[in-house]
Structure 1
Amino acid sequence: MDTDSKIKLNVSNGTAHVWSLEDIARLRREHQICGLLTGTLPHVAQQNVFLGLPLQLMPEEVVLLIEHGAAVLVDEQASHRIPTGSQLNSWQQQQKSKAQSSIPPLVDSTLNTPNLSEDQIQKRRLREEKRLAAAQRSTTPTEVSEDRLKATDSSNALQTAYNVDVPGASVEHPWYSPIVYESLESARAAGLWTFPNTQSEKARCAVFRDLWKQGYFMGIGIKFGGDWLVYPGDPLRYHSHFVATVHGGSKDHISPMEVVAHGRLGTATRKSHLLCKWHEQEDRVEYFSIEWAGFG
């Protein structure tokens, strides 16, 4: 696959994000990768229900995509150059011209608007006359000046909706030159990406890969006491069936109390808990399912 056609994963501070809507759709449709939308609007930054771009990926998802040649890593910080004065001025002029060209001419009078029917024009005229009469009754004659009447007429004019394009992703900037890494080894050598580094992280990647090959979708499972939520299909269509926890080290063990906690929590949330064990020598994943059973 050509590098230009691969999905761009923008890495900053050790976290990979996707800014392209087309790439997000491809991740979900072609690669069983959902990620997590994390973006908010500047004026409602504390809103955390309906999130937007960018899409943040789990490190296991990043490793899987790179290993399968479906994506490349982009060093977001190093890709930004300092713009020259001429570049910045030219870009600002282009944005200003684009915004001005998208604004339609203002309509001086609502009565001359071809989009309104005769009945709508008549109703609008009556509303304006009532509003103006009410304003005149609430003030003395000396306070109602000609300028105020003109301002009232102007404010009540038909407000035509229009869209203004604003700069989106940084790839649109002329001073942005992406530095791309196609393999985990090259990104690790450059200090951009280090996951997986420990035995536990390697085990997580192995288990994630094995579940992914079986056709499952994975989501973040911290709310349910595990590493991932495991879905039988797209999370927009299915509820998760399992909560998965990875136990990767050769000396890793699990206490009876933890088994009970996983079983009760999973059953309370209508899921089974998967204990996942990666055998490195055989490159094999073993699963144990825990589900609380009622007695008596």
Structure 2
Amino acid sequence: MTIPIHVSHQRAFIWDVDRTLPHLSQQNVFLGLPLVLMPEEVVLLVDKQLAVLVDDLSAHRTPTAAQIEAWDQVWKKDIAQQVARLEREASVGKEDRSMSEAAVEKRKAREEKRRLAIIQKQQAEGESADSVFAPPPAPPPESSAGQPASSNIAYSVAVPTTSEEHAWYNQEGSTYATLEAARSAGIWSYPATEEEVAKCAVFRDLWEQGYYMGGGSKFGGEWLVYPGDPLRYHSHFVATVLASPTAPLRPMEIVAHGRLGTATKKAHLLCGYDPATKKVAYFSVEWAGFG
């Protein structure tokens, strides 16, 4: 099964409408806003036939009045079912609270009966009732079980939002299995330059070696390179891709990469791609010889 990658304005997203709503209690990379993919990721996934590109603009159709009315009826029916379920759950919870309140009242009655028995025993033995600290029994508190329930009950209702249920969203005719087809349709143009081709080639080579890549702009490079799942490992490298094998590189850039890599406890990779041989070369830069 291929992954649909939704493309809008030359940007690629992976999203599920059921995972992108604000009613979810937890918002993170798995349960949050649509995930924006790096263009190199998109190129790799499509080339590996693991994903297809979907033109979101053309996939959305204008719904007819009959389709809107049918969806509205389904929506109202679903809400009514959820409200009925919540009311049943609320009534069960109310019964449980009533049983708890009845148990508390029984315990208070037993304690009061035991206290009165002690007082009567002391009086029977000749002790003065005035010498015994026996305050009159307090009237039992009124049980809240008999109070009318508030009519203002808040319900959390989930609205049916699965995109497959929408007749006005149809991916047929808007899905492209290759980059060439998507480029011809005008929805995707990456890679378009020599530098972008080099980035895609380096990204693919690192991925095929088992590395994981994440954004590296905060560390002065293209990507952070992880030896495994980024949720379990720290990145070992910061990768910078040279536009071509003959692209100039100033000495101060090498110094800056080395200093930044040392400060962040990473080695800096200078990555080059040769389109003639289709090979990728790497140079690692780090400070050494201290102390």
Question: If the length of structure 2 is used for normalisation, what is the TM-score?
Answer: 0.75
Identity of aligned residues (%): 50
Q: Which residue of 1 aligns with 2:279?
A: 284
Q: Which residue of 2 aligns with 1:106?
A: 87
2:285 counterpart letter in structure 1: I
Contact 2:222 2:239 in 1 (8 A): yes
Residues 150-175 of structure 1: per-residue CA shift (max 9 Å, x gap): 6xx416x9x69x75332435343111
Matched position secondary structure for 2:258: helix
Tell which structure's C-alpha radius of gyration is larger.
Answer: 2
How far is the alpha carbon of 1:240 from its aligned partner?
Answer: 0.5
Contact 2:29 2:35 in 1 (8 A): no
Q: Which residue of 1 aligns with 2:257?
A: 262
Quote the Cα distance in structure 2 between the aligned partners of 1:131 and 1:263: 74
Q: Which residue of 1 aligns with 2:12?
A: 16
Contact 1:107 1:113 in 2 (8 A): no
Quote the Cα distance in structure 2 between the aligned partners of 1:41 and 1:19: 14
Residues 98-155 of structure 1: per-residue CA shift (max 9 Å, x gap): 111012263799798343473356669x9xx7899xxxxxxxxxxxxxxxx96xx416
How many residue pairs get matched?
A: 251
Contact 2:269 2:283 in 1 (8 A): yes
Contact 2:267 2:284 in 1 (8 A): yes
Quote the Cα distance in structure 2 between the aligned partners of 1:68 and 1:108: 49
Distance 1:169 1:227, change over 3 A: farther
Structure 2 gap segments, 5+ residues each: 109-140
CA RMSD, 1 decimal: 3.5
Q: Which residue of 2 aligns with 1:192?
A: 187
1:170 counterpart letter in structure 2: S
Q: Which residue of 1 aligns with 2:163?
A: 170
1:7 to 3, 9, 22: 3
Structure 1 gap segments, 5+ residues each: 25-38, 133-148
Quote the Cα distance in structure 2 between the aligned partners of 1:167 and 1:267: 51
Residues 267-288 of structure 1: per-residue CA shift (max 9 Å, x gap): 1111111000001100000000
Question: If the length of structure 1 is used for normalisation, what is the TM-score?
Answer: 0.74
How far is the alpha carbon of 1:201 from its aligned partner?
Answer: 0.3
1:154 to 145, 150, 166: 150
How far is the alpha carbon of 1:41 from its aligned partner?
Answer: 3.7
